[in-house]
Structure 1
Amino acid sequence: MTLGTRSAVLGRRGGVDPDVADQLGFTVHDVVRDLRRDVAAATLPLPIDGATEADASRSRLLAQLDEHLLPRLGELSSPAMVVLAGSTGAGKSTLFNSLLGEELSPAGVLRPTTREPVLAVHPRDVEVLKPGPATDLARVVHHQGVPRGTALLDAPDLDSFLSENRSTAHQLLEAADLWLFVTTAARYGDATPWEALGRAKERGASVAMILNRVPKENLPTIRADLLARLREHGMTDAPLFVVPDVGPHEGLLDATVITPVLRWLSLLAGPDRSRTVILRTLKGALGALPEWVTGLADAVEEQGDAARELRHTVGVVVPDAAAAARRTILAGTAGGASVAARWFELASTAGLERVVVRDGVARSSRRAGHAREKALEGLRSEVEEAAVRSLVAAAARAEERLRAVLAGPGAPPGGTSVAPTGKDRAAQREVWAKGSVGAWARAADDVVAHLGEPAPAGTGDADEGGDPSGVGQPGHLEISDREARVRAEGARRAFGDGGLVALVLAAAVGNDDAERLLDRVLGEVATDAVAELRGDLADRAAAAVAEEARSVQSALVVPALADDAAAALRVRLAELRRLT
């Protein structure tokens, strides 16, 4: 059912069928409540073109829903809220007091005069006056002079030099069923009145205008000019009241001066007639919503389009950077000069290359092996530090590349907001790399611990095209395993398990001297171990690149940037169009 249908249930005397009104109120209220939830959930995280304006529009829409539509739909019997608003010195408080015949709101030359909003309500309407922004922000007074079915509110200046006054004025206008806008002959051309009236038109509010302090001799000219301006702004239906300039005065205006305004307010009096004003403003507000929601839904979809382009950009960079990091490690350049220098030092002091190898088996006393193992502890430390530097460098290069494509020339829209900044990343990168290299080194401990053990079933000669059953090669696998075990035992005696791990790690980062020594004492077993650990470190370098991109990717994989992020708003839009 539409709000137009709701208006149709008003009888010739303005009466409303309570059952029909309740049913309609429930329908519209549910739609607007769901809309409010989905508008609040719609965020615009990427700073692309139009996002700032769309977010500001979203904030205004939420304010309208929270401060007017939802409270009003929740209780149609509450008096119609008529807010007197305008610029500094427009005479709002004097008009407010004069309409009520009593000085209830301070008026004078001191600016700002209205520091505390005043809400006047008829005593017989107090029971149906529902809590809301107006009752929360204003001092409520009960007064017989307020027409029944309405509540009259004197708001602070829209252009007050006090920011809290400006904020309060805008909040109260959002809660209004009718804007009674006050300006003067001297200031009606200022920007502030027309900005406020533009917001009223945008949200579909009912508006009336009071042109105050108009010199009698200029009244026809000024009135004609103001009417022309109203037509230009599409507000030809807005009532216009002209209050002549009465010169310097204190207290209330003469009753004859404000009679037209008072008569017009009295025409709205009575619960049923004031409800017509409420319904008219509600209909206007609901009619304005589809354009707002369409703009917000379009902005959300533009965010999704930008996010897809950014994800594609990152998706191109990361695999290339990961592949480059792997190539660097597999090329055997991770050790660098520091590992070579440590090896040269050990070769001359620990006699690493003077180990005797006879029939492929290292010959050494356990005492000498313990000494070499102790000396090789420094090599392991040097290798781990070099590996950490390699992972950190791979990650840093990935960050530089991501920053270049996301924030450099030709970057896609919104890229700057998700591009890595480098802040705090160096320390985090170092911590991550040390953890990863520590796990890699522990994997080397495990590899060395299993040196010389029989190969798993399904490997060996069968993998090289030999007879998988071993027929025709009696005892071949047993002999190979036995030889491997003997060579491993000899290597352990010569270097200790810790020393062998250091040698394997050094060879894995590309130290040729360590690799040659391992080949002498272990043969092909060492080759396989080194290849396995070098591949593991290459994988970790690729993971370092992925880790660097994780913050960027996680920022782009959020509900607000999903392909269907605007779906809920589109559903609400369809519901609104059925209502209006």
Structure 2
Amino acid sequence: MTPGTRSAVLGRRGGVDPNVAEQLGFTVHDVVRDLRRDVASATLPLPIDSAEEAEASRMRLLAQLDEHLLPRLAELSSPAVVVLAGSTGAGKSTLFNSLLREEVSEAGVLRPTTREPVVGVHPRDVDTLTPGPVTELARLVKHEGVPRGTALMDAPDLDSFLSENRSTAHQLLEAADLWLFVTTAARYGDALPWQALDRAKERGASVAMVLNRVPKENLTTIRADLNSRMKERGMKDVPLFIVPDVGPHEGLLDPKLVEPIQRWLGLMAGPERSRTIILRTLKGALGALPEWVMGLVAAVEDQGTAAFDLRNAVDSVVPDEQLAARTAVLSGAAGEGSVAARFAELESTHRISRVTVRDGVARTTKRAGKAREAALASLREEVEATAARAFVAAGVRTEESLRGLLTGPSAPPAGETILPNGPERATDRLAWGQETAAGWAARADDIVRRMDATAAESSEHAAAGRAAGARKTFGDTGLATLLLATALGNEDSARLVDRVLGETVSETIEELQGELADKVALAVAEEARSVQSALDVPALADDAAAPLRVRLAELRRLT
């Protein structure tokens, strides 16, 4: 059957306007296929309230599309699939065999009886049975007792203690054109039958019900109660068949007991009449899709709202943490401790501060200058390590603040799930800190290399001499190291730099200190970004639900 034929058939019998489909440039099958793609792509990564329920609904919708709608839309001429479904011990297999008047499906008292689904098809319909869940999961039986145009299936128990049986039963129900639900007088009030019937109603499936093993003395009362329950659920038009209780027995039921069901199945005999059932279920299924999709749209948008709240929560921490980090740098506290200890060590072993200054210019030999530059290499390592630790510390403090905010009593939903995991984040943070510290230190090297040009432009010609003397006394790298240590707040370095360069270097120190403060503030932002990166996924984008809304609009125009 061509796509155009499918559209026309649905327009004539299933309530879908083929003119609308033609105007839109696609068939119903195309719309459902595109819907399937976008439903499969929609994910719900944040464990917020109702996400688990929405994900279960999404998976049921995918099953409905994969196991019924798409296969059925692809081939409307395949027999209508009628599945006998129900709970354990409802008598499905006995009923199935009795309808065919032959022991085809295993029946008995041992549970589970139906380990392998069985599908009966009239021999003349076998070639038209579309490959899919029915043919893949069930044993095919050719049988003259099956009405033409239908495929009658005995499915496993919906509440089987074997999980694979339960899964198979639900798959087969999704593939069905009509559910023939079997329950008993003793169990029709259980939750399972009504859950299954609600699910059928949710997906727009055609349903009939068999109430089996009904004691004759209670028949009127039970039928009235069941009819009342069905009416309350909006199922007053669902066909109901009563099979009286015959007590313990083996083999087939008396033909008279199942004759009403056989007549009803016979009404669907023949391709055209079975097509009516198929199209009615398709119409119901297509009509049910917008509500399902709207529910998924709402769930996806709830995810986006939760992500927005989480981003705002993370952003709220950044300003205070950046202020604290900058204040720590500008206070000069980083220049004490290990940096001061290393300077003191160099002072005692290499007499770093013993520099002759005449007329404001440091005087030294080339050899002594190279020795000081080499000695200051260890101070350079300590300065860079201290700067790196300042970046790491800013990140750790920010992470602690974020952890308190995202896991505390007033934490936004799913806050804990976006926090970075320990070892990997610690390694990333350290690597970032070392790289950034090296970049900051390189900035001081650049400043020293440009000192001659800067001094030459100065109105104080003495500045050029002081810069040249300082560079000769400590070497370019050594002088840059002293500037870095001073920017960190080390007082010993500050006094030495002031002796060899004078007040003209104060702007340079402030520049380096300001850059360090900016980079530490950047470490705070980097930590926040690492937390927010968990939210940088398509499923949490502002327009994540847009494809589903397009599909929803198409469905509403077609149904």
Same fold by TM (over 0.5)?
yes
**Which region of structure 1 is more displaced relative to structure 2, 345-354 or 138-147?**
345-354
- The residue type paired with residue 46 of structure 1 is L
Q: CA deviation at 1:20?
A: 9.4
Deviations 1:402-434 (A, max 9, x none): 222333232233323324454532232112211
CA distance in 2 between partners of 1:388 and 1:189 (Å): 69
Structure 2 counterpart of 1:45: 45
Structure 2 counterpart of 1:95: 95
User: Are positions 1:526 and 2:529 aligned together?
Assistant: no
Unaligned runs of 5+ in 1: 462-475
Structure 2 counterpart of 1:211: 211
Q: CA deviation at 1:21?
A: 13
CA distance in 2 between partners of 1:23 and 1:249 (Å): 58
The question of whether the paired residues in 2 share the 8 Å contact of 1:403 and 1:420 is answered with no
Q: CA deviation at 1:311?
A: 2.2
CA distance in 2 between partners of 1:351 and 1:9 (Å): 101
The question of whether the paired residues in 2 share the 8 Å contact of 1:123 and 1:144 is answered with yes
State the secondary structure of the residue aligned to 2:210: strand
State the secondary structure of the residue aligned to 1:453: helix
The question of whether the paired residues in 2 share the 8 Å contact of 1:268 and 1:277 is answered with yes
Aligned residues: 552
The question of whether the paired residues in 2 share the 8 Å contact of 1:80 and 1:150 is answered with yes
Structure 2 counterpart of 1:408: 408
RMSD: 2.7
Deviations 1:98-120 (A, max 9, x none): 21222222211221111111112
- The residue type paired with residue 573 of structure 1 is L
The question of whether the paired residues in 1 share the 8 Å contact of 2:118 and 2:155 is answered with yes
Q: 1:213 to 1:4 in 2, by over 3 A?
A: farther
State the secondary structure of the residue aligned to 2:37: helix
Q: CA deviation at 1:155?
A: 0.8
- The residue type paired with residue 440 of structure 1 is W
Structure 2 counterpart of 1:567: 546
CA distance in 2 between partners of 1:532 and 1:209 (Å): 83
Deviations 1:259-310 (A, max 9, x none): 1111111110101000100111111112222222222222222222222222
Which residues of 2 match residues 78-227 of structure 1 at below 5 A?
78-227=78-227
Structure 2 counterpart of 1:469: none
CA distance in 1 between partners of 2:27 and 2:489 (Å): 74
Deviations 1:364-384 (A, max 9, x none): 223333332232222112212
- The residue type paired with residue 503 of structure 1 is L
CA distance in 2 between partners of 1:431 and 1:345 (Å): 28
Structure 2 counterpart of 1:504: 483
Q: CA deviation at 1:321?
A: 2.2
State the secondary structure of the residue aligned to 1:9: helix
**Which region of structure 1 is more displaced relative to structure 2, 441-450 or 356-365?**
441-450
The question of whether the paired residues in 2 share the 8 Å contact of 1:101 and 1:252 is answered with yes
Q: CA deviation at 1:36?
A: 1.8
- The residue type paired with residue 290 of structure 1 is P
Which residues of 2 match residues 12-411 of structure 1 at below 5 A?
27-411=27-411
- The residue type paired with residue 561 of structure 1 is L
Structure 1 counterpart of 2:441: 441
Unaligned runs of 5+ in 2: none
Deviations 1:494-546 (A, max 9, x none): 22333223212211211121022112112355334333322222222122112
- The residue type paired with residue 509 of structure 1 is L
- Name which of 9, 12, 26 aligns with 2:12: 9
State the secondary structure of the residue aligned to 2:213: strand
Deviations 1:339-387 (A, max 9, x none): 1122222223322222110111111223333332232222112212211
The question of whether the paired residues in 2 share the 8 Å contact of 1:487 and 1:521 is answered with yes
Q: TM-score, normalised by structure 2?
A: 0.92
Q: 1:20 to 1:538 in 2, by over 3 A?
A: closer
Q: CA deviation at 1:331?
A: 2.7
The question of whether the paired residues in 2 share the 8 Å contact of 1:78 and 1:130 is answered with yes
Structure 2 counterpart of 1:464: none
The question of whether the paired residues in 2 share the 8 Å contact of 1:336 and 1:386 is answered with no
Q: TM-score, normalised by structure 1?
A: 0.89
CA distance in 2 between partners of 1:405 and 1:531 (Å): 35
CA distance in 2 between partners of 1:441 and 1:52 (Å): 51
CA distance in 2 between partners of 1:556 and 1:245 (Å): 60
CA distance in 1 between partners of 2:229 and 2:188 (Å): 10
- The residue type paired with residue 526 of structure 2 is E
Identity of aligned residues (%): 68
